Chains A and B, each alone.
Chain A
Amino acid sequence: MRKLLQALSDAVDALDGVVQGTIRRFVEVTDRRG
């Protein structure tokens, strides 16, 4: 159970990295287009 919860937590963390990167690029691109 502990391992499963850790794996889920890591998965959420990894997805968070993707979300953050996507938002950052979106903001940069739209900012340049201004």
Chain B
Amino acid sequence: MGDARPHRDERAAIFLHVGKTAGWTLRQILYRNVPRRQVMRVRPPVQRPRGFLNDEPLRAFAALPEAERARPRLLVSHMIFGIHESVPGDSTYFTMLREPVARALSQYRHVLRRPEHRLHAAAAAGELSLERYVTGGVALEMDNGQTRALAGDIETPFGECTPEMLERAKRNLDERFAVAGVTERFDEMLVALGREFGWRRLYYVRANAAPEGQRVPVTEADRQMIRDRNALDCELYRYVVQRFDETVARDPRFAAELRRFQRGNRLYRPWGRFAYGAKQAAVRRTRA
């Protein structure tokens, strides 16, 4: 965030960070574009029985003095919809969804990879198969987690999501989200954010991606099981893609800007890999 220019937008930009959507990479990009003093990361609890579906950040933020709540121009958290109600002044959301099957598989790999995850021991011991993880009710985020996040709903029990929740998520998107993109079109998402918020330091290298060696064997039946359990998320994903397509089509300069961005990013990559590696090494040594 060294030379980030002051955020020129009067609105507070709220990043609703849905888990396993490349949001970590996006966050690193955002931090370069908004000065540190204008960024607030509302940390979710260390133990997260509901994964990224947290309402604790909403309560923690609401409890801050008004002057503190008015400070950030960029608010970031793994949280559900609703924090805007505590933001003094104008605000708008942005978020990134991911194709539900890919997201669920990525989430399961995350559990297998992270010893500190509450379900890791069971998964690593073979007691928590992909099927049980997705359908067994052990992880709320496996039951239309993206719809829940955008609808602001963590109260509905596992397996009891309703079409009304999907409609609420769509309504929130239409009324409160300046940009909603998808992981599969990450570059376009960045260009859209740049055009919406005036952010310019958008070149990047991928960060925090799962190592290739940790892929889980998946059958078509597994994929269908995930789709069945996440039918609302599948519909929400289609809705966001369609909405994004319409936004792009309305902007006559978007295609040229995307082309320039991708060309620039290819030139940036060698430096970006070096800079990212150097920063990660510094962070590791600082923590050691």
Best-buried of B1, B32, B202, B268 by chain A (most CB within 10 Å)? B268
Q: Closest A-chain residue to B261, C-beta based?
A: A27
Bound-state Cα–Cα, A16 to B200, Å: 12
Collect the chain B residues with CB atoms within 8 Å of residue A31's CB.
Answer: 256, 259-260, 263
Bound-state Cα–Cα, A3 to B244, Å: 43
Bound-state Cα–Cα, A16 to B278, Å: 12
Collect the chain A residues with CB atoms within 8 Å of residue B203's CB.
Answer: 20, 23-24
* Interface of chain B residues 192 through 230 with chain A (CB within 8 A): 200-203
B285: Cβ under 8 A from any A Cβ: yes
Bound-state Cα–Cα, A12 to B200, Å: 17
* Interface of chain A residues 1 through 34 with chain B (CB within 8 A): 1-2, 5-6, 8-21, 23-24, 26-28, 31
Interface size class of B (residues with CB under 8 A): 20 to 34
B238: Cβ under 8 A from any A Cβ: no
Q: Is the CB of B260 within 8 A of A14?
A: no
Bound-state Cα–Cα, A12 to B271, Å: 10
Bound-state Cα–Cα, A9 to B279, Å: 6
Collect the chain B residues with CB atoms within 8 Å of residue A17's CB.
Answer: 2-4, 32, 201
Collect the chain A residues with CB atoms within 8 Å of residue B32's CB.
Answer: 13, 16-17
Q: Is the CB of B2 within 8 A of A10?
A: yes
In the A-B complex, list the 6 residue pairs whose CB atoms are closest, starting with the nearest: A13-B2, A14-B2, A17-B3, A27-B264, A9-B282, A5-B282
